[in-house]
Homo-oligomer: A and B are copies of this chain.
């Protein structure tokens, strides 16, 4: 039994018999071979959270959430997610033999829902849920009451809803701290901010436990079309701001509400970090770079941190000699449309025979 439980001393108490793992965590820290050096950054690292069991860091959340369910004898999992949290909960529910029932927003992408259902989860879409605020509120209120009746709780990956399960995500910071004694500069993508807060709190917890010398700076990165946190953080303000509507196309980061934003601003600032806003086009460019220049295939949200590094570099806000870590949060297979776009720039041909093949290959080599 490894997974997040390697760090059980720093996690909420769960009895040994209830601890679950599908092999989450212990994700690779890969040193950049091309992008870093080409930017003048000789210590740029990618933390490959996309290689978690269901393809995102949310498995750390689900491992903790379901272990607590097992410990408490809870019989059903209710959740709202239209993406990676749902897939993670679905997989860990399957392993725990618990029914997983997911209320999903109207218009959620079918590919993501399919990933939940193949693990056996029910995906229930509700008209106007996530679109009209009054419907969203009605659904959330009903789910909360129903969860109470069923002696369970609604699982949402944010500290303001599920702080204990979010503690599972803090293991990302423990792994980075264990790998870099001397401290780092970590770039974290944010929607509601839960991941950023988990990383910042994780470093603080590590420091309290082990008092290590290294200092870790946590920077928060958001697409400008969902700037609830980063401008406030960079501008020295205390308060995040809800946006009327997310205009970013980066799936997973379209969270117009302020969830953990307040605590994110405080925690990043305590670490010496700040906020960076990026454009969707820069994110897609970084996603394509990661695949074609580093061999790392992530979903668009997974490339946001690298886009943030470029912004920080342009702003002169980087220490080029202290290690920089980009969190690659989710796997590219989560977004098949982008995969298709990324593939379209590479050579693809149908050739009549081996002579044509030879000529084509020679052309490619000499290009």
A residues whose Cβ falls under 8 Å from a Cβ of B: 1-3, 20-23, 26-31, 33-34, 48, 51-55, 76, 78, 90-97, 99, 101, 103, 113-127, 135, 138-139, 141-142, 146, 150, 291-297, 331-333, 336, 339-340, 342-358, 360-362, 364-365
How many whole Å from A135's CB to the nearest CB in chain B?
Answer: 7
Q: Are A114 and B339 in contact (CB under 8 A)?
A: yes
Are B343 and A292 in touch, CB under 8 angstroms?
Answer: no
Name the one of B93, B94, B347 contacting A124, with C-beta atoms under 8 angstroms. Answer: B347
A365 to chain B minimum Cβ distance, whole angstroms, is 6
A271 to chain B, nearest CB (A): 26
Chain B residues whose CB sits within 8 angstroms of the CB of A295 once the complex forms: 22, 53-54, 90-95, 119
CB distance from A293 to the nearest CB of B (A): 6
Please tell me which one of the listed residues B76, B118, B292, B355 contacts residue A297 in the complex, with CB atoms under 8 A apart: B118
Residues of B within 8 A of A365 (CB): 76, 99, 101, 150
Instruction: Determine how close the nearest CB of chain B comes to the CB of A248; give it in whole angstroms.
Output: 22
Nearest residue (CB) in B for A76 is B365
The answer on a CB contact under 8 Å between B348 and A292 is: no
Report Cα–Cα, A294/B92, bound state, in Å.
8
Q: Which residues of B contact A95 (CB under 8 A)?
A: 33-34, 293-295
CA distance A43 to B93 in the complex (A): 21
Known pairs A23-B28, A33-B95; A124 contacts B292 (CB<8 A): no
Q: Which residues of B contact A138 (CB under 8 A)?
A: 353-354
Given contacts A53-B51, A54-B297, A297-B118, contact A351 B91 (CB under 8 A): no
Partner of A126, one of B31, B54, B354: B354
Report the Cα distance A116→B324, complex, angstroms: 29
Q: Is the CB of B333 within 8 A of A55?
A: yes
Q: Which residues of B contact A355 (CB under 8 A)?
A: 142
Interface-centre pick from A27, A344, A353, A360 (highest chain B CB count, 10 A): A353
Are B361 and A124 closer than 8 Å at their CB atoms?
Answer: yes
Closest Cβ–Cβ distance, residue A250 to chain B (whole Å): 18
Q: Contact at A118–B346, with CB atoms within 8 Å?
A: yes
Assuming A3-B28, A22-B296, A114-B340, is B53 touching A351 (CB within 8 A)? no
In whole angstroms, what is the CA distance A120 to B340 when docked? 12
A116 to B291, CA, bound (A): 10
Contact between chains at A30 and B23 (CB < 8 Å): yes
Contact across chains for A26 and B23 when beta carbons are under 8 A apart: no
A33-B97, A118-B346 known; 14 other A-B pairs, CB under 8 Å?
A20-B33, A48-B53, A78-B361, A94-B291, A95-B294, A117-B343, A119-B291, A119-B292, A123-B346, A124-B357, A125-B351, A126-B353, A139-B357, A142-B354
Nearest neighbor of A120 in chain B, beta-carbon distance: B292
Give which listed residue, B52, B146, B339, contacts A358 with CB less than 8 A.
Answer: B146
Q: How far is the CB of A190 from the nearest CB of chain B, in Å?
A: 24
Whole-angstrom distance between the alpha carbons of A295 and B22 in the complex?
8
* 26 residue pairs bridging A and B, Cβ less than 8 Å apart: A1-B31, A3-B28, A22-B28, A54-B295, A76-B365, A91-B296, A94-B291, A94-B293, A95-B293, A101-B361, A101-B364, A116-B346, A117-B347, A118-B346, A122-B348, A123-B346, A123-B347, A125-B349, A126-B351, A126-B352, A126-B354, A126-B357, A139-B357, A141-B354, A142-B354, A146-B362
